[in-house]
Amino acid sequence: MSATNLDQLLAPVRVGAMTLQNRAVMAPLTRSRAGEGDCATALIAEYYRQRATAGLIITEASQISAQGKGYPRTPGIFTENQIAGWKLVTDAVHSENGRIFLQIWHVGRLSHRVVQVDDQLPVAPSAIKAEGDIFTVSGLKTLEAPRALLLEEIPGVVDDFRQAAENAKLAGFDGVEIHAANGYLIDQFLRDGSNTRTDAYGGSVENRARFLKEVVEAVIPVFGADRVGVRLSPIFDGFSMSDSNPVATFGHTASMLGQYGLAYLHVMQLGQGDFDFLELKRLFGGTYIANGGYDADRAAAAIVSEKADLVSFGTLFLANPDLLERFLLNAPLSEADKETFYQGEERGYTDYPVLPGVHTTRG
């Protein structure tokens, strides 16, 4: 990598209401380390503190309600104890002059009745089953057909997103990222492969994007538009996700989101099929964070060529708390231990090595 390109990746950048120290973002990564009551812990705070040299940390997804939960030990943001747990995290990151957004989510159909309160079925826009299994505290369970949300229930879910943003603000976050990607509830509304509703939330792309629109409009007054981001994944094909015309669906969605003056659009660029992500960036018109298997060279090249304004790194940050120092020194990168992605407590979490003499904080 040329020094000039690396300089671009490590250069400060204005994103919404904040000036970030660099253009390298820590991507959201579910790690299943939450404590009792699905609360963030001191261990989680240390994990994020170690990586505070990222220009922006976007946390692992945090469920907005008990109904929104899909997996064991994912942290929530709907109880007082959960707010207090996340405050440990924001205090730790801010002590190192880092910046951190909370990713807020509802998993929709990607849950199971053993996870839900009172053995209820998971909810979704339509009663369409995703293929595959889901890991629960009772072991692997086959995904089941969800219950379609009633029209009169939807405003309550929208309000859960608003309340989650309010709680994130109480916990000290710099902003929130609305998780509208990866086959979860908002993505399920957006795509016609998972949304066959015939009311105001189904059918046309405008109707399918209505739920996201309402969530964005509910969250913006809490933080201000310039501290709210949205994540999309136009060609993600996991969990049986599909759309008959992703160019039209996500082109409309990006244009719609571009009207709000959001902090950024964060796009996962992995999946099946061709897609013009540069056009998506143009349609949004604001700060664009690219995600999807980037290394330092590709990230720097994307920024120099204006295909992205920032780039988020997932497993590279997971395995290298001192990732930016390694980029700067052109040092070897540690390999991620996949066996500890979702288990292991501090093992494979806070015990990844750093280079001798290099600190993972800003000092």
CATH of the domain at 316: 3.20.20.70
pLDDT score, position 83: 98
List C-alpha distances in Å: 195 to 88, 156, 244, 290: 38, 19, 11, 26
Q: pLDDT (tens digit, 9 = 90+) per residue, 181-203?
A: 999 999 999 999 999 999 999 99
Task: Report, as residue numbers or ranges, the catalytic residues.
Answer: 184
| 94, part of any domain | yes
pLDDT of residue 138: 83
In a domain, residue 71? The reply is yes
Is the overall model pTM greater than 0.85, yes or no? yes
Tally Cβ neighbours within 10 Å of residue 74: 22
Lowest mean pLDDT among 78-82, 314-318, 356-360: 356-360
Give the CB-side neighbour count of residue 62, counting CA atoms within 13 A. Answer: 32
Task: Give me 103's structure tokens.
Answer: 């990713």
Confidence of residue 137 (pLDDT cuts 50, 70, 90): confident
Residue 2 pLDDT exceeds 70: no
Is 194 inside a domain boundary? yes
- Domain assignment present for 353: no
Task: Give the separation between CA 232 and CA 180, rounded to whole angstroms.
Answer: 5
Using CA atoms, how far residue 93 sits from 45, 88, 156, 196, 248, in Å, is 8, 9, 32, 42, 39
**Cβ(209)–Cβ(256) under 8 Å?**
yes
- Provide the domain limits for residue 86: 3-340
- Establish if 350 belongs to a structural domain: no
pLDDT at 358: 56
Extended strands (E) in 17-76: 18-20, 24-26, 56-63
pLDDT of the residue at 147: 98
Q: Is residue 352 in some structural domain?
A: no
Q: Which amino acid is at 232?
A: L
pLDDT > 70 fraction of the chain, expressed in percent and rounded: 97
Which pLDDT score is estimated for 362? 39
Residue 139 to residue 282: CA distance in whole angstroms: 44
CA distance 255 to 252: 5
Based on the structure, what is the number of domains in the chain?
Answer: 1
In a domain, residue 86? The reply is: yes
Residue 230 contacts residue 287 (beta carbons within 8 Å): no
Judge whether 363 lies within some domain: no
